[in-house]
């Protein structure tokens, strides 16, 4: 199935690549296994054949699944240094194993129902599997975001095709991964 990748997912993936490069993350995976939140439902029904009645299963609804955008395995150093960036995920026992599920979201969505659906899926995943899916807004000019609380990936720091290197708005507002590593050394 072909799916569209959002700009936010591309930004988070660039951030994860930097995290792997500097040793905060062992590995990451895009679109990991799906969580089956509700199994498909069938009911038994009696069907009249020509000469007898037969009990058959009738389909009522499909299973409801949820797939996070990213699954990352953090190093011990990454767990310590990124605790403040992922406040709720760091409270879960999975954090001790370095497991982090991320769902990349934008700051504004026209379809309010998508935000409500994610919130319900997030709660169901936590209730059924004990795993927290961290909602991550990679960039927000006015509020909190992943880049401001950690670093801006290098490919988003600089404007393209300039004679003189010029920082982007993201680059001006956020530090580098190297500066983050020096600043938050455990």
Lowest mean pLDDT among 14-18, 62-66, 107-111, 134-138: 107-111
**Could you give the C-alpha distances from 3 to 6, 8, 87, 175, in angstroms and in order?**
9, 14, 29, 32
> What's the rounded mean pLDDT across residues 16-31?
95
Lowest mean pLDDT among 19-33, 106-120, 142-156: 106-120
Predicted confidence at residue 78, as pLDDT, reads 92
Lowest mean pLDDT among 2-6, 11-15, 84-88, 156-160: 2-6
How many residues does the structure list for the chain? 186
Burial of 136 (0-12, 13-18, 19+ CB in 10 A): buried
Six-digit token string for 181? 């590593």
- 84: Cβ contacts below 8 Å, ≥ 6 apart: 149
Predicted confidence at residue 168, as pLDDT, reads 87
> What's the rounded mean pLDDT across residues 24-39?
94
């Amino acid at each position: 199935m072909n799916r569209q990748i959002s700009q936010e997912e591309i930004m988070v993936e660039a951030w994860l690549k930097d995290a792997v490069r500097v040793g905060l993350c062992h590995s990451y995976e895009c679109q990991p296994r799906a969580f089956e939140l509700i199994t498909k439902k069938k009911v038994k029904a009696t069907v009249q054949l020509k000469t007898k009645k037969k009990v058959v299963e009738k389909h009522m609804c499909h299973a409801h699944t949820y797939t996070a955008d990213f699954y990352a395995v953090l190093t011990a150093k990454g767990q310590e240094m990124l605790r403040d960036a992922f406040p709720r995920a760091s409270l879960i026992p999975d954090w001790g194993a370095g497991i982090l599920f991320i769902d990349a979201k934008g700051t504004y969505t026209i379809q309010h129902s998508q935000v409500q659906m994610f919130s319900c899926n997030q709660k169901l995943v936590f209730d059924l599997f004990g795993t927290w899916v961290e909602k991550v807004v990679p960039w927000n000019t006015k509020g909190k975001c992943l880049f401001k609380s950690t670093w801006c990936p290098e490919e988003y720091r600089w404007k393209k095709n300039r004679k003189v290197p010029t920082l982007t708005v993201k680059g001006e507002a956020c530090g580098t991964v190297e500066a983050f590593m020096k600043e938050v050394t455990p």
